[in-house]
A and B are shown apart, each in its own frame.
Chain A
Amino acid sequence: MAPKSKGGGAEEKAKEVLTAVLLADSFTQRFRPITVEKPKVLLPLVNVPLLEYTLEWLALNKVEEILVFCCAHADQIKAHLADSKWLKQRSPRVSTVVSTNCLSLGEAMRSLDQKDIIKGTFILVSGDTVSNMDLGPALAAHKERADRDKDAIMTMVMKPTHEPHQRLRLGDTSLLVALDSSSQRLLKYQELDSPAAAAAAAAAAAAGGQRDSSSAHHGGHHHHHHHHGRRGRSSQVWKLDASLWSERDCVQVRTDLIDTNISICSPEVLLMFSDNFDYQSLKRDFVAGTLSEEELGKKIHCHILQGEYAARVHNLRSYDAVSRDLLARWAFPFVPDTNVFYKAGPWGPSSYRYARGHKYLEAVTGCSRSAQLGRLLAVGAGAAIGDGCIVSQSVLGRGVSIGKNCRITGCYLQDGVVIGDNVTASHALLCEGVVVGSGATISPGVVLSYGVVVGPRHTVPAYAIVSLCKQITTEVSLSDDELEYASAGRVSSSSGRPPARRARNSTSGGGRQPRRSNAASDSESSSSSSSSDSDSSSEESSSSSTFGDTLGVKSMEKPSSLAVKAAQVLAGGDKDQKAQIAGQVSELGFAVHLVGEGGAGYEWPMTDGYSAELYSIAPPPMTLAEHVYDSDAENDAAGGASDDAAGPDTARGAADEPGERSGGAGRGGAALDPETVFMQEVGETFLRCVKERFAETNAVIELNGLKIAEDRTFADCARYIFTAMLQLCLPCPGWVSPEYGCLFPADAPDSSSKDGKLALLSRFKQQLREWGNLLRRFLRSEDDQVELLLTLEEFCGAEGVFEADSSGTAFAPLFANLLQLLYDGEVVEEAAITSWAAEKEHADEGEKLFLQKSAAFLAWLKEAEEDDSDEEDSDE
C-alpha cells in the first residue's frame, strides 16, 4: 500500500505517490435517523452515492492511492466499493482501512498513524465532498512551501463568498479567518455563530484596536467584557492577538471564506494527532491547537479557490443546495449527463441525457404525456410518472412510481419510492422504500427514512422526521456510556458521540447555549401536540439533555423486524393482511400524528439543539432568514435615526420573551430593543471608566472598541456618554448594575426650586469638567453636535430610548442652562446650536418646546455673533 521506496530521501521524494485519505464518516449526527441504517457517504445525491463524487474528483486530480477510512457501517461501504468500478481499475488504487471503534476524526488520524501506511503528502477529505477543483496549484504550492520550510504542514482550501445568504443556503456556520496577506499563512481560525458576529469581529480587527495582551487561546467563546456576554449571539467580540501584527505589516481578517474541508497535509499532521491524544476535531482542536502553540512553529496555510466548485454535504440544508448545484451544472463535469458515475442494478449503467431547462432523464423513463416536468429535474431509469403530475426541482431515483395528479416540488425521492395519486409534496427527502398513500400531503422539511409508510389523506407536518427505528433515550452515567458502545456496536457508533459533543459544549460560550435549546424545544413542542406516552417521555429527557451537562445518551437500534414487516404490509398488502396485523400495529405504537392511519414510522425528535428551520431540506422561511441577518441591518438603521428605537423588534422571534422588556427587568438584555441595549452598554462602559478612574485616553479606547464591535458612529457613542453624564447627576437609574450605584448621588435635587436647579447644574458642570474632553473626542463634526442636542431634547422629554427612564425630565426646566454650559464648555459650537435651531424652526409646534425654552439663549448667541462679526468688520 505504501510507496515502496527504501532508497534515499531524494529518490523517495521523486517517486512520492499522491495519496488521499477519504474519511467515510463525518463523525456528526446531522443525517440521523437515515444514517442509522446506511452510512452517510452512501446516501444518494442526485441518484449517485456521495462517496462517488469524492472518489471521482480525486481520480480526476490523478490521485494514485485512495485510502477510504471506514468506521461506522464499514461493511456496507466495503460492499459498495467491491461492486463499483474502483477496485477493478489500475489507477487510482482504492483500498479501505477499517477501524470501527473510532468516534472522532482525531481517533481516525491516530489509528492511521499507528498503521503507518502514509509516508508522504496526502490529501485529507471527508467522503461528502463535492468538487471539481483542480488540486494541482494547491498541491504545488503546498509542496513548494514544505520543501522550503518543513513546518508548513498543512494547506486548507477555502472558497470565498460575498453574499451573506450563501452560508444560509449551504447550512454553514460563519467563519473568521486571519491570514498573512503575503504568504497566505493562517493566523486565526474561528467558527462564529452568526454572520453579524463575524462582521463585528472583522470591524474590530480592522481597526487594529483592542490591544489586549492575553492570548486568544483555545477557540471558545471568549467575551471581551462581561457586558458583552449578556448580549449573547449578536455582539460577541473576538480577540486577535496584537502580536499578529508584530511580525508583519499586513493581516487579512476575512469572514467571507467558506471552509471546504479539503486539506493537503504533510505526514507530520498524523504525528501531531498522536502527540496530542486529546485532539478530536480537525478544526476545533488541531487547527486551533497548532495556531495557539506558536512556539512549536508549525504553520498552516490557506489556498483560496477562484471560480471552482467545492462544497460539503454535511447537513440536510447542504444536501438540498448541493443537489441543486449539481443539476445546474456548477460541478461540471460531475453532472448527470456525463454519466461519469458507475451505476449497477436492473436498469444498467447510468444513461442520463440533458434536456433544456436542466432536465436530466435516463433513457428508460415511463413518463405520462400529460405530466409536466419542470426545470432542475433528474429522473432515474424505470421511474413512472402518472397523468397530470407536475414535477419540478426534484430528483427522482430509479424505479420511483408517482400516481396521478401529484405535485412534487423540491423533493428527493430515492430509488423505489412509491407515491399514490393526488399527493402534494414539497421540499422533502424520501428515502428508499418509502410509500406515500393517495391524497397525502408532505409538508416542507420532512424527512422520511427507509421504509416509512404514510397513510392516505394524511398531512405530514412540516419538519417532521420519521423513521422505522425508534429512538431510545436513556439517562446513563459515563461508565454506562462505554457499555453502550460496546454492546451496540457498529450501529450506535455511527452517530452517538457524546464525549466529543460534551467537550464541545463546554468550550462553547454560554451565550449561545440557551438560545439553541429554546429553539429546539420550540420546534419539538410544535411538532408533537398529541404524542403518545413513549414520545412525550423521550421528548422530556431529550430537551433536558440539551440544557447541558446531564446529557442523556441516545442509542438506537436497527428497526425492529416487526416494524419493518408491518410497514411492508401497510404499504403493499391487501385488506386481509392489513386486518391481520392490525393488532400488531397498534402494539408497535407508530406515531399516528405524523404518518396517519395506516402509516408506519416513529417520530425522531430533533434533540441536538439544532434549528430545524435553518438546517432542513426546505429553504428557511424568509422571516427566519431575516432574523439571522437582521443585526447588521439594525445597526445600520440605528446609526442614523434615533426614533427607530421604539417598538419591539418583531424579527427577533421566538427566542425573546416580550414580557422581559419592561424597564426594571432590563438586565435581561437580549429582550430589549437594540438601541436601548446599546445605550446601556455605552452607559456601563462609561461608568466603569468613571469608577475605575481611567485616564481619558483609556476611556476612549474602551468606548471605541464598543463602537466598532457594535458598528456604530461616533455620534451614537457621544449621545449616550452624554446622557450617562446627565444621569450621574441624579440617583441611580434602574438599568445600572449595583456595582456602579456608589457613583450616583443619593438624592435628587428638586429641579422646580431654584436651589435644586443650581445644585443639579453644578453637578453637571463638575461632570463636564471631568469628562467634557472625552465627549468632545466623540463629537467629530457639527452634525454630531446637532445630534447631541437632539438627544438632549429627547432625554429631557423622555422620548424614544429614554421613554422607560423618566429621570431626564428633571433636566427639562434646565434645558437652556445646559445649552449654555455645553457652549461654554466648548462641547457644542455656536454653528451647531444655530443649525439645530434652524432645523427645529420648521418642526411641529409640539416639538418646539425646548426651542422656545432656549429662545433667550439663542437670541444672546445671535447678538454675540453679530458683535463678533462687527468686531471683525471693524478690524478690517
Chain B
Amino acid sequence: MNLSNLVEEYCTQLRRRQIKGSFACAKKTAEVMRLLITTQRHPDAASLIEDVRTVGTKLQAAKPVELGIGNIVRRVLHMIREEQQQEQLEASEGSSTPGDASKGPQGPGLLSQAFRPGSNLRAFNRAVSLSNLLDTPAMSADGLSSSFSGILTAAADAVAAAAAGDAQAADAEGMRRQQSSRKGRAPPQWSSKNNVIEMLNELLDELDGIEQQIAQQAVEHIHANEVILTYGMSDTTFLFLKEASRKREFQVVVAEAAPRFDGHTMARQLADAKVQTTLIADSAVFAMMARANKVLVGAHAVLANGGVIAPAGVHMVALAAKRHSIPFVVLVGLHKLSPLFPHDPDVTLNDFQSPGQVVDFDVLAESFMRGDEQQQGPHAAAAECLSVEVHNPAYDYIPPHLISLFVTDTGGYTPAYVYRLLAEYYSREDYSLDKELIDRMKL
C-alpha cells in the first residue's frame, strides 16, 4: 500500500468522523508524517517541506474543524526548518570556500544561500517578539519562502540587477538538478533527515505523555475542600481530578452537557474514582457557580489570541464564572495550540451535528404537515419560514478575557502568553498551510 492511498484513506476516515477527538487525530497525523518522511526520498529540506505541506493541507482540509491536525503539520514543518537553519548556519560558517560542494549539503540549499543577503538570515533567527511582531510577516513573505522555486525567486529579487544574469543561470541550473534528481535511480537523501525523524519520534512520545504531564500539576491547582465545577466529559480533566484526589479531599460538580450528556459518564467515572461528585443540569450552572471555587474544563483547541474552542455550552459556563469572579481554568495539551485566529478564513469553528440528539425524528413529520397546510393557503411563500430548524453545534468559542489560566503539559500560562508559545513551536511562514492563500497574499 503506497503512501498516497494511505493518506487518502486517513482523509476518508477523518471526513467520516471515524477518528474522534483531537488527541487521536494529532497522533495519527504525526504517524502519517513520520511515514511520509521515512519512506519518501527528499534531496533537500525545501522539497521535504513542500511534501509535508501538501499532505498536511490535504489532511487538514479533510476535517477543517480539527485544528490539531494542522498543528502537528506545523510542528513538523518547524522541525524541518530548524534543521535546515542549523545546516545553513553551519554551511555559512564554513562557506569561506563557496565552491566546496562536498562539505555542505547539495542542491539549492547551498545555491539559495549564495544569493541570500545575510540580514535576512539574522532576522529569521530572531524569535518573534513585540518589537518585531509587525515586520516579521513582511519579511517572511518575500524573504523566506517555503517552496523551492519560491526560494529561488526570492533570492533573485533580493540580489541587485547586476546579479540577474547569474540568478537566471542559477535558476536554470537548479531546474536541471531537480530534473536529474528525479530521473536518477537513487536521488540523494537530505542528510539531516534523520534528525527530523528523531525529533518527530520525540514528538510522538511527547503526545503520549501529555495527559500525564497535565495531571501531575493537579495538586498545585486543587486545594483541600474546594468545590470544582466542570462541564461534560473530558479525559484530561478526569485524569487531572483523579490525580488530585489521591492527595486532596474535594468536591466536583459536573454539568451534564446536553444534548450529548457525556457529563453523565464523567460523573460516573469520578464516582468510581472515589471523588465526591454532584451531577447538575446545564441550566443550574449559574446557580451552582456561587458555590464553586474553580472551574476546570477541557478544550478542543486554543487559538492564537488566547481564546479557545470548547464543547458547546462552555461559553455559558465561562460567563457564569466571570460573573461570580471564579477562576476559569482550561486544561489543554499543547498539540491543541493553533496559530490561527478565530477570524481566520481557515478556521472552521463548528461542526453541526445531527439534530437527532436534540429532538426526536418525529418532529419532521409534524413540521412536514404544517408546512403543507400553509402551502394550501394564500401565503404559500411564507410556508417555508414556519417549520422549525433544529441545530446541534458541537463547539463554542470562548474569548480570551473569560479565561484565567491554561494548564498545559509544559506548565500554566495566561491567555496573554499564548503568542509566545506559538513562536516556540511554529514557524511564522507555516501559520497558513494553504498554499493558494499564501500565493494570493503575495500577489
Contact = CB atoms under 8 A, between A and B. Distances in A.
Interface of A: 56, 59-60, 85, 88-91, 132, 159, 161-166, 168-169, 307-309, 321, 324-325, 328-333, 335, 338-340, 354, 357-358, 374-375, 392-393, 409, 619-622, 625
Contact of B5 (A88, A169, A330): A88
A620 B353 contact: no
Interface in B343-383: 352-357, 360-366, 368-369, 371-373, 375-376
A622 B376 contact: yes
A239 B16 CA distance: 45
B206 interface: no
Given A308-B356, A339-B15, A340-B15, A89 B368 contact: no
Contacts, number: 108
What 10 A-B pairs are tightest by C-beta distance, nearest first? A166-B365, A332-B354, A163-B365, A163-B362, A165-B365, A333-B17, A340-B15, A619-B372, A169-B368, A165-B369
A90 B5 contact: yes
A59 B16 contact: yes
Contacts of A164: 365
A339 B348 CA distance: 14
A325 B389 contact: no
Contact of A307 (B12, B16, B357): B357
B8 interface: yes
Contact of A625 (B5, B369, B389): B369
A338 B15 CA distance: 6
B8 A89 contact: yes
Nearest to B5: A88
B370 to A, nearest CB: 10
Contacts of B376: 621-622
Nearest to A625: B369
A328 B355 contact: yes
Contact of A330 (B9, B15, B356, B366): B356
B15 A393 contact: no
Chain B interface main SS type: helix
B353 A332 contact: yes
A66 to B, nearest CB: 14
Contacts of B362: 161-163, 166
B179 interface: no
Given A166-B365, A340-B15, 9 more contacts: A162-B362, A166-B361, A307-B357, A309-B354, A329-B355, A340-B16, A374-B384, A621-B376, A622-B376
A331 B354 contact: yes
Chain A interface mostly helix, strand, loop or mixed? loop
A161 B361 contact: yes
A330 B355 contact: yes
Contacts of B354: 132, 309, 329-332
Nearest to B369: A165
Contacts of B366: 163, 165
A839 B352 CA distance: 61
B441 interface: no
25 contacts: A89-B5, A89-B9, A90-B5, A90-B9, A91-B9, A162-B360, A163-B365, A163-B366, A166-B361, A309-B354, A309-B361, A321-B364, A324-B364, A325-B364, A328-B364, A329-B352, A329-B354, A330-B361, A332-B17, A332-B352, A332-B354, A338-B15, A338-B17, A409-B384, A621-B376
Interface of B: 1, 5, 8-9, 12, 15-18, 62, 352-357, 360-366, 368-369, 371-373, 375-376, 384, 389-390, 392
Contacts of B390: 328
Contacts of B356: 307-309, 330
A85 B16 CA distance: 14
A165 B12 contact: no
A354 B384 CA distance: 19
Contact of B389 (A91, A163, A357, A622): A357
Contact of B12 (A85, A166, A357, A622): A85
A740 to B, nearest CB: 44
A389 to B, nearest CB: 14
B8 A88 contact: yes
Contact of A620 (B8, B12, B360, B372): B372
B386 to A, nearest CB: 11
B389 A375 contact: yes
Given A90-B5, A328-B390, A622-B373, A168 B355 contact: no
Contacts of B8: 85, 88-89
B289 to A, nearest CB: 31
B389 A393 contact: no
A409 B375 CA distance: 12
Nearest to A166: B365
Contacts of A620: 372
Contacts of A330: 354-356, 361, 364
A90 B17 CA distance: 18
A88 B7 CA distance: 12
Nearest to A132: B354
B372 A392 contact: no
Contact of B365 (A88, A169, A375): A169
A307 B360 CA distance: 7
A625 B375 CA distance: 14
Contacts of B365: 161, 163-166, 168-169
A358 to B, nearest CB: 7
Interface centre among B363, B365, B392 (most CB of A within 10 A): B365
Contacts of A309: 354, 356, 361
Nearest to A335: B352
Contact of B352 (A161, A308, A354): A354
Contacts of B361: 159, 161, 166, 307, 309, 330
A59 B355 CA distance: 23
A749 B16 CA distance: 84
B150 to A, nearest CB: 24
Contacts of B369: 165, 168, 622, 625
Contact of A89 (B12, B16, B357): B12
Contacts of A621: 372, 376
Contacts of B1: 90
A324 B357 CA distance: 17
B19 to A, nearest CB: 11
B15 A358 contact: no
A131 to B, nearest CB: 11
Nearest to A91: B9
A90 B392 CA distance: 33
A393 B369 CA distance: 16
A375 B384 contact: yes
Nearest to B383: A409
Q: Which of A59, A335, A340, A393 has the most CB of B within 10 A?
A: A340
A621 B372 CA distance: 7
Nearest to A624: B372
B358 to A, nearest CB: 10
Contacts of A393: 384
Contacts of A331: 354
A488 B428 CA distance: 66
A619 B368 CA distance: 8
Contacts of B389: 328, 357-358, 375
A183 to B, nearest CB: 26
Contacts of A163: 362-363, 365-366
A30 B377 CA distance: 30
A1 to B, nearest CB: 19
A619 B371 contact: yes
A302 to B, nearest CB: 18
Nearest to B352: A329
B14 to A, nearest CB: 9
Contacts of B363: 163
A657 to B, nearest CB: 25
- Of A330, A338, A620, the most chain B CB neighbours within 10 A belong to A338
Contacts of B384: 374-375, 392-393, 409
Contacts of A335: 352
A164 B368 CA distance: 11
Contacts of B16: 56, 59-60, 333, 338, 340
A620 B369 CA distance: 9
